[in-house]
Amino acid sequence: MKSKTKYLEFKTNEKIEIVNITQQVETVVSESEIKEGLCLVNSMHITASVFINDEESGLKEDYKKWLEELAPYEVKRYKHNLTGEDNAHAHLKRQIMGREVVVAVTEGRLDLGTWEQIFYGEFDGQRRKRVLVKIMGE
Amino acid sequence: MKSKTKYLEFKTNEKIEIVNITQQVETVVSESEIKEGLCLVNSMHITASVFINDEESGLKEDYKKWLEELAPYEVKRYKHNLTGEDNAHAHLKRQIMGREVVVAVTEGRLDLGTWEQIFYGEFDGQRRKRVLVKIMGE
Amino acid sequence: MKSKTKYLEFKTNEKIEIVNITQQVETVVSESEIKEGLCLVNSMHITASVFINDEESGLKEDYKKWLEELAPYEVKRYKHNLTGEDNAHAHLKRQIMGREVVVAVTEGRLDLGTWEQIFYGEFDGQRRKRVLVKIMGE
């Protein structure tokens, strides 16, 4: 059994931003030299997501608008913000989008469907954050 | 370490449909001859889900109604549909239900709780789609 | 390859409760003696979640309130409850929060971000339920 661990760093320009990280994850898979296995990609922060969906700019806007409807920013709405934070909304948004994805590695590559792309979803950005990539296999 | 990869195919009759795939996944586990490991089951499409819940027809109706409330079909609501698609709603519904499940394999079987069943959740169906099953272990 | 499987048991005092289980999972990782691998933690019940977020009491209250807005208890709202149950809402709440997490194990420890804590989210409690922990690696 082989394994490979790598930490990717992100600092987004916007508070809320969706970043395509497929190529960066694919690079870690190549470096690992693992041919058959599983690849975990997770946000290490609780106000951000890693998820798989479509690389289409309109859809990214739809996600932002929709998440704002389901979990509005409104500072006074949340008890968590009594701690001095204003990011309770980001904790909720991230639960809808998910913390992590697990992707199959087959014949040395991410085994993704035609339109599947891996995204880092930032909901409380403009500061340094990390994503963990761990591959296990042979 | 052993691994086994299989692609299941689905073409649902309805646009939105929830299909129990537990037996098909269990069959792949048997074929793999893996006794202890992890089994990844994921949709390879971004308008469909794999999730675990209850085999109960009323609940399936509840899910459909609830998802329609949270992410309505309404074509004009979404920028993604300006590309000529009408399936933006399906991209959102799938995020709530999730892309994948990881299930333990113990003593050669899916290690599921009493009521846990694995479902393929289709939100933009009536065309051929794939689900990936990958098992890793020994 | 090594693996370790353990079943944790919970019986919450409240119907809806969020329990920090990070230490219990960390203990299973220690017992496994696995240094590099993946750790699956999942609810074995379909009205409960395992998720990762922040240990902050206000945020826990925010989650409960928010989930009640998105998937209200209201018994008559759901077809599932025609079976005699009153827990349809709990099946929906759990889909938002997720069934499972997969956490990297690195140098013999859960490889969590600074604020990441693992929680058992119970939405239909006051009875005995199980969480599965399975670690695979070397």
* Chain-centroid distance, C-alpha A30: 20
**The residue to which tokens 């499409």 are assigned:** B45
Structure confidence at residue A40 (pLDDT): 98
Structure confidence at residue A56 (pLDDT): 97
Within 8 A of A136 by CB-CB distance, chain C residues are 36-38, 136-137
Q: Which residues of A30-54 are buried (b: 16+ CB within 10 A; e: fewer)?
A: eebebebbbbbbbbbbbbbbbbbbb
ipTM for this prediction: 0.97
Q: What share of chain B is helix, strand, coil (3-state, %, to 5)?
A: 30, 35, 35
The candidate with the shortest Cα–Cα distance to C132, out of C26, C39, C19, C16, is C39
Tell me the average pLDDT across B120-136: 98
Structure confidence at residue A128 (pLDDT): 97
Structure confidence at residue A21 (pLDDT): 98
Which B residues, 6 through 25, put their C-beta within 8 Å of a C-beta on chain A? none
* Chain-centroid distance, C-alpha A33: 23
Which of A38, A40, A63 is the mutation pick for testing B, counting most B CBs within 10 A?
A38
Chain mean pLDDT for chain A: 98
Structure confidence at residue A97 (pLDDT): 98
Residues C65, A4: Cα–Cα separation, whole Å: 40
Please tell me which residue of chain C has the smallest CA distance to A44: C113
Measured CA angle at A78 (ends B91, B90), to 5 deg:
5
Q: Which residues of C66-90 are buried (b: 16+ CB within 10 A; e: fewer)?
A: bbeebbebeeebbebbeeebbbbbb
Cα dihedral value C86, C90, C91, C96, nearest 10: 160
Tell me the average pLDDT across A78-97: 98
Q: Cβ contact (<8 Å) for A101 and B100?
A: yes
Contact indicator for A63, B68 with CB cutoff of 8 Å: no
Structure confidence at residue C113 (pLDDT): 98
Within 8 A of C136 by CB-CB distance, chain B residues are 36-38, 136-137
Q: What band does B94 get if pLDDT is binned at 50, 70 and 90?
A: very high
pLDDT (tens digit per residue) in C102-130: 999 999 999 999 999 999 999 999 999 99
Q: What band does C53 get if pLDDT is binned at 50, 70 and 90?
A: very high
A117: left (phi over 0), alpha (psi -120 to 50) or beta: beta
Which C residues, 25 through 84, put their C-beta within 8 Å of a C-beta on chain B? 38, 40, 42-46, 70-71, 78-83
Q: Determine the number of helices (DSSP H) and then strands (DSSP E) in chain A.
A: 3, 8
pLDDT (tens digit per residue) in C17-45: 999 999 999 999 999 999 999 999 999 99
Q: What band does C99 get if pLDDT is binned at 50, 70 and 90?
A: very high
The candidate with the shortest Cα–Cα distance to A119, out of B72, B91, C102, B127, is B91
pLDDT (tens digit per residue) in A22-43: 999 999 999 999 999 999 999 9
Select the residue of C58, C98, C103 nearest A98 (Cβ to Cβ): C98
Q: Cβ contact (<8 Å) for B38 and C80?
A: no
